[in-house]
Structure 1
C-alpha cells in the first residue's frame, strides 16, 4: 500500500499527465483521473443504458446520459472512499503521495511510513465506512419521497452503489480493504507483518474462487445462460483481485525474507590490499585463507576486486613485479557497505549503486568481505545462487 518518493517539478508534472488528468488537490492530496477510467465509463453507458431505457421508456435516449451520470456517481463514490483512506492516514502522519482514479476504481499511494496492526486496520476500514455513510445519507433522502424522475433514479443508484462498494471492500482478503483486517490479526498474533500479508493474500484468492463459483459455475451447473455483462464484470473483477492477491503473497514472502539479507552474513570473507601492492601480496592473502581480495585506493576506500582467474594466470616469476591493479576489475563509485547493514535498509542502499559487487567494511573502514548482487537476490528470493561466490571478469 506504500510507495516511496513523490514526483516533483517538471518531471513530476509530466509523469502525472502521462498517467492521467490532474483534478487538483483535496486536503493537500493530489487527485489524478487515469485515462483508463473512460473505459469503464464507456462500458457503464453501453451496459446500463439499454437497461435504463427498457425500465424507463419515457427517458428515451436520455437513458444513456443517465447511465453516464451513474459512472460519474461511481467515480465520486470511489473518490470519497480513497479520500477517507488518505485523510485518516494523515492523522497518523502517513503522507499520501496521490489518489489515482482508474479502470479498477482507484487507489491511494502512500510515501514511506511505519505502520502498526491497529492503525493499518483503521486506515483500511475508513474507506468502506465512508461508503456506508454515503449510502445511509442517500437512503434518508429517498425516504423523504421528495425526489422524482431522474433524481430519484440516480439517488437510488448512488445508494446501492455505495452500499455494494462498502460491502465488497470489507471482504477478508487483499487487495480489498478487509484484507488489512486479516493481515493485522495475523500480524498481531505472530509479530510478523509478512505472515499477515501472505495470509490476507490467500484470503483474496479464496474470495475470487467464491465469486467465480457463485456467478459463473453455479448458474452453469443449474443450466442457466450467464448474462454477458455480468460475465464480463465477474471476469474483470476476478482477474484484478487474483493479480492483487498474488502480488500480496509475493510481497509478503519477500518481506519475510528481509531479515536474511545481511551484509555480514552474505558476504564472502575478504581482505583489503593497497593499490600499491603486487600479485605476490594477493597470493599471500589467498594462502592465509582469504577468499577475495579487494584493492583499496590511497584514501583506504575500496576501488577494485582481484579477478581470481587473472590472478591464477600470472606466472610465479612475474608475481613480484606485477601490480595488483593489473589483475583487478573496478568497483562502482561508493560500492562499499558497513558490515552491520541488513534488511530493507541494505536493499535500498544497494539499489542506488551501480555494479554487482560491493565491499563490506567494519567500523574502522577495514575490508572484511565482498558482497555480490547474486547473493543478495538469492537471500530475497530463496533461490540458490551460482557456485562462484563472485563472478570473474569485469564488474558489469
Structure 2
C-alpha cells in the first residue's frame, strides 16, 4: 500500500543513507532517489499474467505480445503509484523536511522521510496528499475512458482508473500504517495535543482494518454471492498481515518515544579532562584518575577540541606501552556529528546518535565551551532504566 514514513524532526538535511540491499535506483524526483525492490518484478510479472487474458479478448492473436502489453500496463500502474509517493515527498520538502528516498515494492510504495512530524498539520498534509493524488489520477482516467475508442489503450485506462480509485479510497481508511491512519493521527493529535496517544488510536484503527480484511473471505460469498478464490484469500492474508504488523510497530514506536523525554544528555555526561595531543597516554590516564574524570579530550594549543580518547582503545593498550604512546594514538578525531549541544535531549538525542554512530560524543555549551563527554553506553543504560521504571 502506498504511504509515507514519519517526516523529519531535524531542521537540516541529513547525508544520504546507503541504498538498502535488493534495491535498484531508477532515477530521481526533486533530488530524491527513486528505488525499486526486486519484489517489484514479481508483482509486475503477476500483473502481466493476470492482465493477459483480458488483453487477448480485446486484441485477439497477439500471442506472446499480450504478456508484454501486460507488463507495460504494470509499469504505467506503478508510475501512478510513483506519482502518489512523489506527492508525499514534495509536500514534505516544502514543509521543511528532508526526504531520503522513494521506494516502489510489492505492495505499492514508500516515501522515506527522516524522523517525526513537528506539527499535526504537517502530518495531515503530508499524509492526505497521497490519496488525493491517486483519486485525482483515477478521476482523470475515468474522464479519458469515455474519450478513447475501444482497444488496448482504453483497457489500460480502465485498469488505471479502477486501480487508482481503489488505492485512493483504501489509503483513506483511518488506520496505520495507511495514509488515512496518519490523517486520523493528525486529527487526534491536534485535538488532544498528545502525539503518542494519537499514534496509539490510529494504530488500533489499523489493527481493526487488518482484522476486517482477514475476515473478508469468510463473508464474501454471503455478501456478494461469489465464493472467494485462492488469490482473494492470499491477498487478504498478505495485506491484512501487512496492516497488523505496521499498526503494531507504530504503536510500539509511540510507546518507545513516550520514554525519550527522560533521556537528557547533560546529566549523563562524564566529567572531562583536556590534554595536549602529544602527552603520553600513561600521564593522561594518571591525570584523569587524579581529577576523577571519566573521559579525556585532546585539544590544540588554542584549546580547540581535536579528538575524544576511546575508552575501549585505552583498555586494550598494555600498561607497559602507555608511557611511550602519545594520547593521540588512542583518540578518535573530531569529525562532523561527534559534537552535540550539552542540552540535547529526547528524540533529538536519539536522532543525533543514529545519524552518526559512535562510542563517545563531545558535549559543548552554546558558547563553545566543553561540558563533557557522552558515552553511548551511558545513554543505553539510562534508556533501559527509564523503560524499567
SS at match of 1:106: strand
Structure 1 match to 2:90: 87
Aligned CA distance change for structure 1 residues 239 and 59 (closer, same or farther; 3 Å): farther
CA shift, 1:89, in A, is 2.8
TM-score by length of structure 2 reads 0.71
**SS of the counterpart of 1:101?**
strand
- Partners of 2:96 and 2:364 in 1: CA distance: 36
Match of 1:212 among 211, 214, 217: 214
Match in the other structure for 2:347: 344
* Alignment partner of 2:101 out of 84, 87, 98: 98
For residues 78-136 of structure 1, the C-alpha deviation after alignment (integer angstroms, 9 at most, x for no partner) is 01211222233343233433322222211222356863211221221111111111221
User: How far apart, in 1, do the equivalents of 2:374 and 2:140 lie?
Assistant: 60
3-state SS, counterpart of residue 44 of structure 1? helix
Pairs within 5 Å for 1:281-360: 340-351=343-354
What's the secondary structure of 2:110's corresponding residue?
strand
Tell me the matched-pair count: 354
Structure 1: 5+ residue stretches without partners = 311-322, 324-329, 386-396
Corresponding residue to 2:171 among 169, 172, 181: 169
**Secondary structure in structure 2 of the residue aligned to 1:170:** coil
Equivalent residue, structure 2, for 1:7: 16
What are the ranges of 5 or more consecutive residues in structure 2 without an aligned counterpart? 316-322, 324-329
Cα offsets for 1:155-178 (capped at 9, x unmatched)? 211111110010011111122111
Pick from 230, 233, 246: which aligns with 2:232? 230
Q: Aligned residue for 1:47?
A: 50
* 8 Å CA contact 2:272, 2:294 repeated in 1: yes
Using a 3 Å threshold, how does the CA distance of structure 1 residues 7 and 367 change in structure 2: closer, same or farther? closer
Higher relative contact order, structure no. (Cα contacts within 8 Å, ≥ 6 residues apart) = 2
Contact 1:211/1:238 (<8 A) preserved: yes
1:240 to 238, 242, 258: 242
Equivalent residue, structure 2, for 1:193: 195
Choose from 137, 142, 167 the match for 1:139: 142
Q: Per the alignment, do residues 226 and 333 of structure 1 end up closer, same or farther by CA in structure 2, a change over 3 Å counting?
A: same
Deviations 1:158-209, CA, capped at 9 Å, x for gaps: 1111100100111111221111111112221232323322332232222111
Distance 1:337 1:112, change over 3 A: closer
Q: CA 1:192/1:139 → structure 2, altered by over 3 Å: closer, same or farther? A: same
Please state how far the C-alpha of 1:248 moved relative to its aligned partner: 1.7
Contact 2:308–2:360, Cα closer than 8 Å, also in 1: no
Which residue is equivalent to 1:391?
Answer: none
Q: Is the 8 A contact 1:272 1:366 kept in 2?
A: no
C-alpha displacement of 1:211? 0.5
Alpha-carbon distance between aligned partners in 1 of 2:144 and 2:356, rounded to the nearest angstrom: 59
The question of whether the paired residues in 1 share the 8 Å contact of 2:216 and 2:236 is answered with no
The alignment partner of 1:246 has SS state of: helix
